[in-house]
Each structure stands twice: as structure tokens, then as C-alpha cells.
Amino acid sequence: MLKSSRTAEVILSALPYIQKFRDKIFVIKYGGAAQIDEKLKNNFARDIVLLQIVGIKVVLVHGGGKTINSFLDRLDIKSEFIDGLRVTDANTMEVVEMALSGLVNKEITSMLNKHGARAIGVSGKDDNMLRAKVMDNGKYGFVGDITSVDDRLINSLLDDGLIPVIAPIAIGENYESYNINADLCASAIASKLKASKVIFLSDIRGVLDKESNLIGKLDKDSIETLKKDGTISGGMIPKVDACLECIQNGVGAAHIIDGKIPHSLLLEIFTDEGIGSIIK
């Protein structure tokens, strides 16, 4: 009986958040171990189903680096990275688009539908949703900077009760394809939609201090201080910058959470403590 009462208390503790977030848009960037490990994949799918059932409008943006690497290895195409970005020549771009739009996107969509969600997979090229230009004068090949987001297709799908699952491929001025960093893609889409939240699932706990303790809440000023003293460095800088850009463009809050923790989405969204870093 005591266990049953505790379960009821846990469920009821989520009620204020369920009421608060009903009909709100959450953009979720799905990547890292949560996209590879079978148990984590199924946990994630169930979390998304629950979010949809309680009335949250979910937009999912995914990566797929490991799948791309696997295809490139099989085709004996060497990968090169500069500043953490994959250098994408014409041959590599074909593989990236095939892997992301043709395989990864449909696997994620199928997994969500299997667990009871209503999801549909699209590419950023569909309906000219994502427009881009070459990044840094072609330093990285066909890696692009998003120049515009047309949200008509996304909103139409959300209005029909569907979850858009978006592959981060954009279209250029001459209808060439561009590979887009999934974090930056999620940031641009969340900004355009003025989403209530953008949530980045990764393989890190969030922003850590110099003693490796989690920093639960941050804002622009605290982030600048942590950058200056070297606490925020390396690959965390672009992730935090993407979060700040979202906030400055009207997104309610940005979260960085560890996708390796089972049901990390629910723990972050529906509990007082959360499990990651929130930037407001």
C-alpha cells in the first residue's frame, strides 16, 4: 500500500507541469548514446509518446554520425573533421543525405510509431523548409549555415497531431544539399517556432564546474563568466552558444541533458529538480 501511495504521489507531482506545458512546442535534439543503445532508444520513444499524449507538441531533430561513419567506412571514404565538423565533399554529401534522410530518419519515425506515437519523417529539404549557405567560404565543403526556416510544414504537421522527425539536411540557392549540424538545426527551428523549450540530448550531464559538479541553472552573464575562466571550453562552447541564441530569439528555456540516463526527458521536464542544465 505504501509503495502504491508513493507511486500516486510521483504521478501527481508531475500534474502542474503537465498542465503548464499542454499545447506548448518542445524542440528536441536527439543524438548520442540515446540514439544507439537499444534500451535507451525504446525508453526515449516511450517518453515521446507520453509527451504527445499529455498534449505537448514535439518537434524532433536528429543526428546520425555513427551511421554516417559506418556507411563511409564500407565505401572506403575517409572522414575528416575540422573544428568538430565533418568535412563534406560531394561524395560524402551523398552518403550523409542517404544515411540521415533515407535510413536514420525512417528508423526513428518507425520506432516512435511502433510505441504508439504519430510521427512522420521529413528532411529539411522538404517544402524548402531549411535554406542554407555554405559555411566559412567552403572551408568544410557542403556544410551549411541555415539562412531561413519555413515553418509552415512543421506547423501543419503539429496541427494534425503529428510529430515531425527532421533530418538536418538543408537546400542551397541552386538546390544543392547541405549538411547541417544537428544542434544548430534544432536551435534554428526552435527559434523560428518560438518554442517553449529546446532540449539537447547528449552524452554529457550538462554544464559542469571545475570540480565536475553539475551547474543546474545558467543565464547569459553566468555563461560569459564561465567562458572567461575556462570552465566552459572546447565542444561545450558551441552547444551553450546555441542555447543562448535560442533564448535571445524568444525560446522559453534551453536544456542540456544526459541521454544515457533512462527517461531523462521525463526527469528533466516533470520534476522540480531536473537532471541537467537549464539556460534561461
- The answer to whether residue 6 is domain-embedded is no
- The answer to whether residue 244 is domain-embedded is yes
DSSP count for the chain of H helices, then E strands: 11, 14
Q: Which three cell numbers stand for residue 59?
A: 518537434
Strand partners, 125: none
pLDDT of residue 3: 60
- The answer to whether residue 27 is domain-embedded is yes
Range of the domain at 38: 23-279
- The answer to whether residue 14 is domain-embedded is no
Whole-structure pTM value: 0.92
CA separation for the pair 166, 177 (Å, rounded): 15
Give yes or no for residue 20 having a pLDDT over 60: yes
Label the pairing between strands 253-258 and 277-279: antiparallel
Mean pLDDT for all residues in the chain:
91
Q: pLDDT tens-digit profile of 165-174?
A: 999 999 999 9
Maximum C-alpha span of the chain: 66
- The answer to whether residue 234 is domain-embedded is yes
Most confident of 74-78, 88-92, 151-155, 274-278: 151-155
Annotated binding-site positions for substrate: 64-65, 86, 179
Q: pLDDT tens-digit profile of 100-156?
A: 999 999 999 999 999 999 999 999 999 999 999 999 999 999 999 999 999 999 999
Torsion, Cα of 133, 134, 137, 138 (10° steps)? -170
- The answer to whether residue 4 is domain-embedded is no
Residue 142 is given by DSSP the state: S
Task: Return the CATH number at 155.
Answer: 3.40.1160.10
Q: Which three cell numbers stand for residue 21?
A: 506545458
- The answer to whether residue 13 is domain-embedded is no
* Residue 15, number of CB atoms within 10 A of its CB: 11
Annotated binding-site positions: 64-65, 86, 179
pLDDT of residue 80: 83
- The answer to whether residue 18 is domain-embedded is no
CA atoms lying within 13 Å on the CB side of residue 179: 25
Q: Are 180 and 168 in contact (CB under 8 A)?
A: yes
Looking at the 3D structure of the chain, how many domains does it have?
A: 1
What's the sign of the alpha-carbon dihedral 137, 170, 82, 89? negative
